[in-house]
């Protein structure tokens, strides 16, 4: 993403106006230009302090769309809600019930714990779409994502994907709907060189892993579809049964980015997904930095 001309970034959080509902989406009369004009000031580079310094994620709702979360794990803390979402029947888009079993394979607990370690004050919700042994269906994935988008979470963490191309149109529609309603969708790239979705969509923040131990260190990729690389190798993460595991993979890089997104949204209320993505790219390490 290309930011506007550089300006000092030591001032307040980005400000903006919202288009009035009576302005047509397909055209803009000159008399209404001032009502939709951006007042955002972007720097040529951004420091972590400017992006998320002093933020703890308070007021931000993060959804872990995964295998469930163990709510009493000491590194996860209390959940705002824990639900199971499955595909509906007929015209019913999905079915929702309370999750009384929790995490069935450990994956969701790891993702929730990583988010909590970065944004300790955010509200974490678990939406389970996977079963034991990481099993799941594309229909349940679609149902869970549809529910999460309609629920209006600020950030949706998807450390999972589908390789079935028949789900692409629906996933694309849901990803775009999330983007336009200011829900940040953070999705893991597949660990293997195969086609999978939704991480390939431009409306999504796509994440791969790097080897550095710093949980706040990011690299921006100039050759997408993977856009952001975050810590994802040899990560100590909480696991089911109150245990911890050393884990590696893009699945565990993704919640690092989701946690940072929660910090950014908390510090800059009203920021849009595209602006969040731009902030991540601006904060990312540069090739000329000494520690690269």
The enclosing domain of 259 has a CATH number of 3.40.50.200
Token pair of 90 as six digits: 């007929």
Instruction: Indicate whether 68 and 23 sit together in one domain.
Output: no
* pLDDT score at 287: 46
> Given 3-state DSSP classes, what are the helix, strand and coil percentages for the chain, each rounded to the nearest 5?
30, 20, 50
* pLDDT score at 44: 64
In this structure, is residue 144 part of a structural domain?
Answer: yes
pTM of the model: 0.86
Q: Is the separation of the CB atoms in 192 and 246 below 8 Å?
A: no
* pLDDT score at 33: 67
pLDDT in tens, 32-62: 767 766 666 666 668 999 999 999 999 999 9
Instruction: Indicate whether 16 and 157 sit together in one domain.
Output: no
Which residues of the chain register pLDDT less than 50?
1-19, 287-288, 290-292
Count the domains in the chain. Answer: 2
In this structure, is residue 51 part of a structural domain?
Answer: no
Instruction: Indicate whether 40 and 145 sit together in one domain.
Output: no
Cα(183)–Cα(6) distance, integer angstroms: 27
- 83: exposed, middle or buried (Cβ count in 10 Å: 0-12, 13-18, 19+): buried
* pLDDT score at 223: 85
In this structure, is residue 141 part of a structural domain?
Answer: yes
Measured distance between the N- and C-terminal CA atoms of the chain, rounded to whole angstroms: 22
Instruction: Indicate whether 111 and 234 sit together in one domain.
Output: yes
* pLDDT score at 84: 97
The residue among 163, 155, 160 whose CA lies nearest residue 128 is 160
In this structure, is residue 50 part of a structural domain?
Answer: no
Cα(203)–Cα(180) distance, integer angstroms: 9
Instruction: Indicate whether 89 and 195 sit together in one domain.
Output: yes
Instruction: Indicate whether 69 and 109 sit together in one domain.
Output: yes
Domain with 92 in it: 57-283
DSSP designation for 58: T
Instruction: Indicate whether 33 and 164 sit together in one domain.
Output: no
Q: Is the separation of the CB atoms in 204 and 198 below 8 Å?
A: yes
pLDDT in tens, 256-278: 999 999 999 999 999 999 999 99
């Amino acid at each position: 993403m290309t930011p506007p001309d550089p300006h000092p970034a030591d001032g307040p959080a980005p400000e903006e106006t919202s288009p009035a509902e009576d302005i047509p989406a397909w055209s803009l009369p000159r008399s209404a230009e001032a009502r939709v004009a951006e007042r955002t000031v972007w720097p040529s580079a951004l420091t972590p302090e400017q992006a998320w310094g002093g933020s703890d994620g308070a007021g931000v709702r993060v959804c872990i769309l995964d295998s469930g979360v163990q709510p009493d794990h000491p590194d996860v803390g209390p959940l705002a809600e824990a639900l199971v979402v499955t595909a509906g029947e007929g015209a019913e888009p999905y079915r929702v019930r309370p999750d009384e079993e929790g995490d069935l394979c450990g994956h969701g607990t790891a993702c929730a714990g990583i988010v909590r370690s970065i944004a300790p004050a955010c509200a974490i919700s678990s939406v389970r779409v996977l079963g034991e042994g990481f099993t799941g269906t594309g229909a349940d994935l679609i149902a869970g994502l549809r529910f999460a988008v309609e629920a209006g979470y600020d950030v949706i963490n998807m450390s999972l994907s589908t390789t079935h191309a028949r789900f692409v149109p629906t996933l694309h529609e849901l990803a775009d709907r999330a983007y336009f309603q200011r829900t940040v969708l953070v999705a893991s790239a597949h660990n293997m060189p195969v086609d999978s979705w939704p991480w390939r969509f431009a409306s999504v923040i796509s994440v791969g892993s790097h080897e550095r131990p710093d949980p706040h260190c990011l690299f921006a990729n100039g050759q997408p579809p993977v856009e952001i690389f975050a810590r994802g190798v040899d990560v100590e993460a909480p696991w089911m049964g109150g245990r911890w595991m050393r884990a590696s993979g893009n699945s565990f890089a993704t919640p690092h980015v989701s946690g940072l997104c929660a910090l950014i949204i908390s510090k800059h209320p009203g920021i849009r997904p595209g602006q969040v993505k731009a902030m991540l790219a601006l904060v990312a390490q540069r090739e000329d930095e000494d520690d690269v």
